[in-house]
Structure formats: C-alpha cells, structure tokens
C-alpha cells in the first residue's frame, strides 16, 4: 500500500488516499486513532459508479463513523472510476438497461453476468486491502463491512473471518448463487431496505433476508426510493456497529 496524499478534514479526521497496486483507495482515521489506541475499522462499500462520483456520500459516512471512533476505508471497484473498463460487464449493464427500459423482467443470466464476475474479482481485492490496512499501527480490529453491492458483502462475510459484523443494503440484483452463500453467513447483520426502491425487487430482498444464516439479523425498511435512506437509519446502523465492533 502506497499513501499518495493526505489532508485533515473537520473534526480532526485524517483523510489519506492510497494505491494498492493498480487500485486506488481512501482511508479515514479519527483523531483518536493511534498505535496505543488503534481504531476499529469499517470497510465502506459503494455501487460501481466510481470513487470520485461517490466521494461526497463516502466522506459523509466516514465523518459520521469517525465521530463514533471508527476508521473507515474504501477502494475502487474493478471496472469503475479510473480502472480499466470491462467489456463483459459493460455488455451486461447494457443488457440490464435494455430490459428495464422495455419493462421486461431482468433475467437470471443478466444478473449473473452483471454481478458474479464483479464479486469474484472484488472480494479478493477487499481482502488484500484489509491485509494492508490492518498492518497500520493506528488501525485495529474488529472489522465491519457496510453498504455497497450486497453480493460483495455476502461473499466477504462468508470468506473473510476478520469481518465480524455487516450493514447490508438490499438495493441491487442478487444472483441465485449468492442466495446459497447467504445461508452460510453467520455474523451479525443489519439489513437496510428502501421500501419503494425503483430498481429493486422487494420480495427478493425479503427472501434474501430470510435465508441469511446469522443468529442476529435485523431488517430495517424505510419508506422511499433507492437514495432516500433517512438520516435516522444511518444513526441506527452506527449503533449496530458500536454494539458489535467495540
């Protein structure tokens, strides 16, 4: 991991950009984080729209988490932002847009083509980022994962034992294969669902919540569309992490 820039934000939060090989990322640490009092870490997931576009929302989440004593970090997803485009994924996105514009059901084939390669490539990258981040003396465990592409969160929860709690956002297409993996998830889960999410199948989200294997799981559904998660829902998610990561 190579630190490429740093700046101080409001509230004493230190923002550092880094690269991990070809992958850009950002790390935020609260003023309280030090080698003698390392901060627990939350990985900030995000949709595949590019870190630069997502930055305003990411930094707001980072600031909120820092106020609770958490470090946060994120990396660019494969095929997004400045990373090389991915012809197969571009094709799947085009197929998705076409099906939705035509009012047709989105087929399992399109969802698989859209999501499975992304999960297969992204998850080892988040694990590599975790290796690098946890080697910093001011960052400690335990680790949480929050938001973004829910299928990445599911796979990470299954394969990465250092992730010990997750806030998942039921707001994107989930391949059938990931429903099977969801049964193997055993960490505490706090699942957010926007009740009127235009691009989301509500029943599929409820079915997915049902199959998670975790003994502590809760679903928090709020009125409104994809981007309408209310402020108090963020506060509740923060309390979930405070219960499980401290």
Closest alpha carbon to 154 in 135, 126, 133, 113? 126
Member of 12, 195, 199, 228 binding its own copies (CB under 8 A): 195
Please give the C-alpha separations between residue 155 and each of 99, 133, 170, in angstroms, as whole numbers: 27, 20, 14
Strands (E), 170-226: 189-194, 217-222
Member of 9, 159, 216, 246 binding its own copies (CB under 8 A): 216
Those residues whose C-beta lies under 8 Å from the C-beta of residue 135, and which sit 6 or more positions away, are 1
Q: Residue 226 interacts with its own copies (CB under 8 A)?
A: no
Question: Closest CB to its own copies among 107 and 239?
Answer: 239
Member of 233, 238, 241, 245 binding its own copies (CB under 8 A): 233
Q: Residue 219 interacts with its own copies (CB under 8 A)?
A: yes
Q: Residue 105 interacts with its own copies (CB under 8 A)?
A: no
Question: Closest CB to its own copies among 114 and 221?
Answer: 221
By CB under 8 A, which span of 11-19, 94-102, 146-154, 214-222 interacts with its own copies?
214-222
Member of 217, 238, 241, 245 binding its own copies (CB under 8 A): 217
Closest approach, Cβ 43 to its own copies, in A, equals 22
Q: Residue 207 interacts with its own copies (CB under 8 A)?
A: no
Q: Residue 198 interacts with its own copies (CB under 8 A)?
A: no
Closest approach, Cβ 144 to its own copies, in A, equals 16
Q: Residue 246 interacts with its own copies (CB under 8 A)?
A: no
Q: Residue with structure tokens 């909120």?
A: 64
Q: Residue 58 interacts with its own copies (CB under 8 A)?
A: no
Question: Which residues on neighbouring strands pair with residue 71, listed in sequence order?
Answer: 41
SS3 82: coil
Task: Indicate the DSSP class of residue 10.
Answer: G
- For residues 195 and 201, what is the distance between their CA atoms, to the nearest angstrom? 10
Those residues whose C-beta lies under 8 Å from the C-beta of residue 4, and which sit 6 or more positions away, are 17, 18, 19
Please give the C-alpha separations between residue 144 and each of 5, 12, 22, 62, in angstroms, as whole numbers: 25, 22, 24, 13
Task: Indicate the DSSP class of residue 104.
Answer: P
By CB under 8 A, which span of 25-33, 59-67, 82-90, 225-233 interacts with its own copies?
225-233
Applying CB under 8 A, the residues found at the interface with its own copies are: 195, 206, 209-210, 214-223, 230, 232-233, 235-236, 239-240, 243
């Amino acid at each position: 991991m190579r630190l490429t820039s740093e700046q101080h934000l409001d509230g004493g939060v230190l923002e550092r950009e880094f690269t991990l090989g070809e992958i850009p990322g950002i790390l935020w640490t609260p003023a309280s984080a030090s080698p003698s009092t390392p901060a627990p870490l939350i990985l900030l997931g995000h949709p595949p729209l590019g870190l630069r576009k997502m930055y305003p929302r990411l930094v707001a989440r980072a600031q909120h988490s820092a106020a609770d004593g958490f470090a946060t970090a994120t990396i660019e997803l494969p095929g997004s932002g400045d990373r090389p485009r991915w012809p197969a994924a571009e094709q799947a996105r085009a197929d998705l847009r076409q099906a939705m514009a035509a009012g047709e059901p989105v087929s399992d084939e399109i969802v698989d083509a859209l999501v499975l390669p992304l999960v297969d490539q992204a998850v080892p990258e988040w694990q590599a980022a975790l290796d690098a981040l946890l080697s910093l003396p001011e960052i400690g465990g335990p680790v949480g994962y929050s938001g973004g592409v829910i299928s990445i969160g599911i796979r990470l929860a299954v394969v990465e034992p250092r992730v010990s709690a997750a806030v998942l956002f039921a707001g994107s297409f989930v391949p059938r294969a990931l429903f099977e993996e969801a049964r193997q998830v055993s960490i505490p889960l706090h699942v957010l669902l926007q009740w009127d999410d235009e691009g989301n199948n509500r029943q599929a989200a409820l079915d997915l919540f049902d199959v998670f294997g975790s003994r502590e799981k809760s679903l928090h559904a709020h009125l409104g569309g994809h981007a309408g998660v209310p402020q108090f829902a963020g506060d509740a998610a923060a309390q979930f992490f405070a219960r499980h990561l401290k």
